[in-house]
């Protein structure tokens, strides 16, 4: 009788163990599935102006992310889900002007800091909270409190330098001295594309992209040091090969304020011409896809895989600042070069999935200066004077970008 009872107990334990452990695997799978579904909806929303015009679409996507953090608060997706919800609430506020969305954005960013203080997104969430208090609500004391917390609690994080800069700017708003006030000199990292065994595009009469862009970068560095007195770092100073991922690591390691990768374009069509500037985003045109495939050194057929690999990063990069930088540099290049040269085609500022911009912690752009494959532009690129003008107008774009950013701070 005892043996029978014991066997029954063992059977019950065994039965429930079979039921329980698969449910753990299922829970983990469900957290990931819910998160991926929310991310897919996010990209669908961000890629459609029609969907962005409907408020309920924003709310639906936000709730999908919040479902991940509520149902699986201990999963590896919970902090990212909360952070993205905060981003969406803020973007919704900018779109529809509803104050409750702004308050919800602060609330969910604060939850990231409180619940997931060890997350790499905690200081980002705190920084965005500070920016909302600073720029949108003009509550300078609360903004100062958020930035100061970053400098004390997250001093090793990627938001530290930006928080210090915000504190310096805040000192002129609240008429109080900021502890440990630091005036930081702007740091610019310039990346001459390709180099060494990677020659880049080959143009007319053997013109190589790697040589053209190195010369432009060297000229740009000299101009910046002379006119702006910023600290300038080149990812390469001579004809050497630097892997793509190491280029942004150089920028991150030096805590750069902006990252500019310089390239020369090419196409199978000899009549293709013009100047274009890219920031990291999904490519929305065949032209962007073709350029990204060439610069990433992958076949055109594989570029969709590249976009998928970069997908998670795009949402958390400084995409707005990067697109603004791209637009200013592009407009300045076009207006400036047209004063000196005829038939300068404006190909615009646009998003594209470029490996070299992946992982940058600062506003970053890729400038395609002209086509080495075009007979007219190829001839121009061989000219030191043409390269000098390109460098000069990129410099003016950088100067205008920092000036406009400073004006925006003072007028908020």
* Distances, alpha carbon 82 to alpha carbons 85, 93, 254, 319, 367, in Å: 5, 17, 30, 19, 34
Question: How far is residue 232's CA from residue 224's CA, in Å, rounded to a whole number?
Answer: 8
Strand partners, 263: 368
Model confidence pLDDT, tens digit, residues 200-227: 999 988 999 999 999 999 999 999 988 8
**84 falls within a domain:** yes
Please choose, from the candidates 257, 241, 287, the residue with its C-alpha nearest in 3D space to the C-alpha of residue 365.
257
**374 falls within a domain:** yes
**182 falls within a domain:** no
Q: Of the residues 106, 137, 170, which one is the last residue of a structural domain?
A: 170
Q: Percentage of the chain surpassing pLDDT 90?
A: 56
Question: Does residue 108 come out as left (phi exceeding 0), alpha (psi in the -120 to 50 range) or beta?
Answer: alpha
25 & 161 share domain: yes
Q: What is the pLDDT of residue 261?
A: 96
Count of structural domains, the chain: 2
**179 falls within a domain:** no
199 & 330 share domain: yes
Total residue length of the chain: 412
Please choose, from the candidates 297, 349, 316, 314, the residue with its C-alpha nearest in 3D space to the C-alpha of residue 82.
316
**180 falls within a domain:** no
Spell out, as residue ranges, where the chain has pLDDT lower than 70. 1-29, 172-184, 282-318, 406-412
Buried residues in 379-412 as b, exposed as e (16+ CB within 10 A):
ebbbeeebbbbbbbbbbbbbbebbeeeeeebeee
| Structural domain boundaries enclosing 74 | 2-170
Residue 256 and residue 165 in contact, taking contact as beta carbons nearer than 8 Å? no
**175 falls within a domain:** no
Q: What is the pLDDT of residue 4?
A: 54
**363 falls within a domain:** yes
**232 falls within a domain:** yes
* Distances, alpha carbon 349 to alpha carbons 57, 191, 209, 255, 385, in Å: 28, 18, 21, 25, 24
Q: What is the pLDDT of residue 284?
A: 53
Which DSSP symbol is given to 76? T
Range list of β-strands (E), 29-100: none
Q: What is the pLDDT of residue 308?
A: 41
* Distances, alpha carbon 200 to alpha carbons 144, 185, 371, 400, in Å: 46, 33, 12, 30
- The overall pTM is greater than 0.75: no
């Amino acid at each position: 009788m005892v043996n029978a009872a014991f066997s029954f107990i063992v059977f019950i334990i065994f039965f429930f163990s079979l039921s329980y452990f698969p449910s753990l695997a299922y829970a983990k799978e469900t957290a990931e599935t819910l998160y991926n579904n929310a991310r897919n909806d996010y990209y669908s929303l961000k890629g459609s102006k029609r969907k962005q015009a409907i408020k309920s679409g924003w709310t639906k996507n936000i709730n999908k992310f919040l479902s991940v953090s509520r149902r699986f608060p201990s999963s590896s997706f919970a902090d990212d889900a909360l952070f993205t919800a905060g981003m969406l609430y803020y973007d919704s506020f900018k779109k529809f002007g509803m104050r409750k969305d702004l308050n919800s954005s602060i609330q969910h960013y604060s939850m990231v800091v409180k619940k997931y203080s060890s997350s790499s997104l905690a200081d980002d969430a705190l920084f965005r909270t500070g920016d909302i208090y600073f720029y949108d609500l003009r509550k300078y004391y609360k903004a100062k409190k958020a930035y100061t917390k970053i400098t004390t609690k997250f001093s090793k994080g990627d938001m530290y330098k930006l928080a210090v800069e915000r504190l310096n700017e805040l000192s002129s708003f609240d008429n109080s001295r900021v502890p440990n006030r630091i005036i930081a000199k702007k740091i610019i990292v310039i990346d001459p594309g390709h180099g060494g065994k990677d020659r880049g595009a080959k143009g007319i009469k053997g013109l190589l992209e790697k040589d053209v862009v190195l010369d432009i970068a060297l000229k740009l560095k000299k101009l910046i040091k002379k006119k702006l007195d910023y600290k300038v770092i080149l990812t390469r100073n001579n004809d050497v090969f630097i892997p793509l991922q190491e280029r942004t690591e150089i920028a991150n390691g030096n805590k750069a304020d902006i990252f500019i990768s310089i390239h020369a374009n090419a196409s199978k069509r000899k009549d293709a011409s013009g100047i274009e500037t890219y920031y990291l985003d999904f490519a929305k045109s065949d032209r962007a896809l073709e350029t990204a495939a060439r610069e990433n050194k992958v076949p055109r057929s594989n570029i969709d895989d590249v976009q998928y690999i970069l997908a998670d990063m795009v949402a958390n990069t400084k995409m707005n600042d990067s697109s603004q930088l791209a637009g200013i540099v592009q407009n300045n290049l076009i207006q400036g070069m047209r004063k000196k040269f005829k038939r300068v085609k404006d190909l615009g500022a646009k998003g594209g999935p470029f490996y070299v911009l992946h992982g940058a912690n600062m506003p970053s752009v890729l400038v395609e200066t002209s086509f080495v494959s075009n007979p007219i532009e190829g001839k121009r690129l061989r000219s030191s004077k043409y390269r000098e003008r390109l460098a000069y107008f990129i410099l003016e774009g950088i100067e205008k970008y920092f000036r406009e950013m400073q004006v925006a701070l003072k007028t908020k």
